Structure 1
Amino acid sequence: MTKPVVVGLDGSSSSLDAVAAAAHEAALRGAQLRLVHAFGAPPLHALAGGGPPWNPAAAGVRELLDGTLTAAERRADEVAPGLDIARDVTVGDPLTVLEIASRTSALVVVGSRGLNAFGSLLLGSTAAHLAAHGRCPVLVVRGRLNPAGPVLLAVDDAPASEEAVRFAFAEASLRGADLDALHVCRASSPDSYDGPADPPFVTYSESHLREHAEQVLKEALSGPQESHPHVTVRRMPLVGRVRHTLIEASADAQLIVAGARGRGGFTGLLLGSVSQALLHHAHCPVAVVRHKQ
C-alpha cells in the first residue's frame, strides 16, 4: 500500500501553501493526502483563575477547525481534483504529532511560517527540528514556486547524502524535471569563508578541488542514475562558498534536496549548517532527507 503524504495545518497562509504542495506530491504518487491539525497546550487564560475546566467545544475550537480543514480541502481540490483526503485532528504537541506521523508516511509537508498563537504549528526552529528528527523526508514550502525549473540536489561526500540522492532522482522522475546535482568545494581563499561551521582552511588549487567535486558526483550519482535512465542529469562540480552557492542556485529550481546526518541529539548537529541555511534562505521549497542508520 502506498504511504500517505502528510501536511501540517495551523490555519495560516503558509500552511495553505503547504497543502497545495502536499496535494501535488500526493497526486504524483497516487497517495492519500492526510491533513493533520494538532492542538498544543490550551491558552494560559483558559487555565488561570480557578474557573471551570477548559472545554474545546465551548472555546470556538470546533468552528476554527471546520474553517481550517474546509479551506485546506478546498485548496487541495484546486490542485488535484478527486484526491483521497483524510482528516486527522488530535490534541498534543504539533511537532510530536508530526514526528509520529512521519513514521508511516511517504512525505511530511509543512510551511516555513506559522501562527504565533494557540494551535500554532511552525514557530522559530520547529521546521528545522522536524526536518532533523522526522522519520521520512520533510518538505518545507518556502520561496517561490517554479514548476518549470529543475530539481536541485546538494550532494555531500558523506553517507548522509545517499537517501537524499535517491529521493531527488525519484522527485525528478515524478515531476518530469531535470536534475541538477551540485557538489561545491570550498574555494581556497579567505573570501570563501561562510562561517564557523566551515571546515579548517586548507589551500588547494582550484583544479584539484574541481576534480574532487567531479569524483564525488560520479560516485554519488552512478547507481541512482542507472535506475532512472530517463532523468536528465547535469553534474555541476563547483568551487566557491558552499552555502552561498547553493542558495544562489536555488533561485531557478522548483525544489532543492539536501541530506541530514541522522545522528546526535541537537538539531544543528543533525541537520548540518548547509541544510539549516537552505531552510532559512533558499529561494524555493526545500526537502530534507534524513540518513537512516
Structure 2
Amino acid sequence: MSIPELGSGPVVAGVDGSPAALRAVRWAADAAARHRVPLYLVHAAGYPDLYGGESIPPPAAFREDLRRQRWEFLHTARATAAETAPGLDVHTLFETDPPIPALIHASRSARMAVLGSSGHGGLYGLLVGSTTLALVSHAHCPVVSVRGDGPPLPASDDQRPVVVGIDGSPLSERAIGHAFDEACFRGVELVAVHTWSDADTEVFSEARMAFDWEPMRDAEERRLAERLAGWREHYPDVTVRRVLVKDRPRHELLEWSRRAQLVVVGSRGRGGFRGMLLGSTSQALIHNAECPVMIARPRQERG
C-alpha cells in the first residue's frame, strides 16, 4: 500500500471573539506546536459596506469602531495562542471577505483548519450552519471542529486515545493517515473503529464475495487489519487497538468521543459510514461529540 501524502503547511484557526473560537485557538496552537508549524489566526468578517436594505454606506466612525473591535478579536486570540504554546510562530490575518471564501482560500496551503463549534461576529454559526457545510465540502485540508464544552484544552499530559472511523473508502484511508499522524505526535494510542450491519448489503456482499462466505465478523476483521497494515509499518511506534462492532457508526463514534481526545473521520464514506458528514452521522458528531472532530478531505480537491 502506498502512503498518501499528508499536509505539511501551517495550522489555520478561524477567530471571531467568542469563547468557542478561543477554545479552538488553544487547540490549534497546541496542534501547531506539536507539528512544529506556524499558526495563522484568520478573522473573516464580511465587512459591511452598506446598511442592510439600504443603498448608502454606514458612517465612517461606525466602520472604524467595527474594524477596531475585530482587530481586538485577533489580538486576544494571539495572546491566547502565545499563552498556550510559548514561542510558537503566530500570524494574524484580517480579511474583509465573507468567512466561507476566506477560510476556503486559507485552507489551500494549510495542514488543517480549526474552528469553534459555535460563534458570533464574523464567523456566524461556525460548524453549525452553512459555514460548516461549505468547509466540509470544499476545504483543501482537514477541518477540525472543536466543541465548546468538555474538559479544558489542551492538556500536555492528556493520554486519551485518538479514534478513527474506518469504512474502506478512499477518504477513510486519508482519515486513517491523519489519525496515525495525530496519535504519533501526541504519543497516545490509536483506536480504529469499524462498524457493519447486516442491513448494509454493499458491505455484506463485498465481504462475503472477497472472503469466500466466511463468517461476517471474521471477514470484516480481516478487512480492518488489511486497512491498517501499511500505516502500522509507517508508524511503528503507534499502538493500535482494533474495535469491530456490529452497529451503526453514529452510536459507536459518539460513545468513543466521551473518552477520546480526537475523533477522525472522512468527509464522505460508504458501507457502514455511508453519507459520513453529510447525513445523520456527520450531524451527530458535529453537534454532539464530546471531543474535537477532524474531518479528512480528498487530496484531489486540494489547491
Instruction: Please confirm whether the aligned pair reaches a TM-score higher than 0.5, indicating the same fold.
Output: yes
Equivalent residue for 1:163, pick from 144, 156, 174? 174
Tell me which of 129, 133, 137 is aligned to 2:138: 133
Whether 2:254 is the aligned partner of 1:247: answer: yes
Matched to 2:24, the amino acid is A
Corresponding position of 1:23: 29
The alignment covers a number of residue pairs equal to: 276
Residue deviations 1:67-91 (CA, integer Å, cap 9, x gap): 2112101111121011111111111
Q: Structure 1 residues 187, 144: CA separation in 2 closer, same or farther (over 3 Å shift)?
A: farther
Show the counterpart of 1:83.
88
Between stretches 173-182 and 118-127, larger displacement belongs to 118-127
Q: Which residue of 1 aligns with 2:119?
A: 114
CA contact (8 A) 1:187 1:240 kept: no
Report deviation, 1:11: 1.0
Whether contact under 8 Å (2:261, 2:291) holds in the other structure is yes
Task: Quote the offset at 1:119 in angstroms.
Answer: 5.4
Find out whether 1:237 has 2:241 as its counterpart: no
Please give the alpha-carbon distance, in whole angstroms, between the structure 1 residues aligned to 2:256 and 2:284: 13
Contact 2:112 2:142 in 1 (8 A): yes
Residue 209 to residue 73, structure 1, CA distance change in 2 (3 Å):
same
Q: 1:192 is matched with which residue?
A: none
Structure 1 segment 1-293 matched on structure 2, within 5 A: 2-40=8-46, 42=48, 46-48=51-53, 51-52=56-57, 55=60, 58-115=63-120, 117=121, 120=124, 122=126, 123-142=128-147, 143-145=149-151, 147-186=158-197, 208-261=215-268, 271=278, 273-293=280-300
Partner of 1:265: none
Structure 2: where are the runs of 5+ without partners? Answer: 1-6, 209-213, 270-274
Taking a change above 3 Å as real, the CA distance of residues 133 and 149 of structure 1, as seen in their structure-2 partners, is same
Query: For the residues of structure 2 that align with 1:249 and 1:55, how far apart are their CA atoms?
Result: 51
Identity, % of aligned positions: 41
Q: Which moved more, 1:126-135 or 1:55-64?
A: 55-64
**Partners of 2:277 and 2:283 within 8 A in 1:** no
Distance 2:299 2:18 in 1: 32
Query: What residue in structure 1 maps to residue 3 of structure 2?
Result: none
Listed one character per residue, the Cα deviations across residues 86-134 of structure 1 (whole Å, up to 9, x for unaligned) are 111111110111111111111100011111x555362524223312221
CA deviation after TM superposition for structure 1 residue 169, in Å: 0.3
Alpha-carbon spacing, 1:62–1:201, altered in 2? closer, same or farther (3 Å): closer
Q: Secondary structure at the match of 2:101?
A: helix
- 3-state SS of paired residue (1:136): coil
TM-score (ref. length: structure 1) = 0.84
Question: How far 1:54 moved relative to its partner?
Answer: 5.4
The answer (yes or no) to whether the contact 1:259–1:271 under 8 Å persists in 2 is: no
Instruction: Give the conservation status (yes or no) of the 8 Å contact 1:34–1:85.
Output: yes
Two-structure CA RMSD over aligned residues (Å) = 2.9
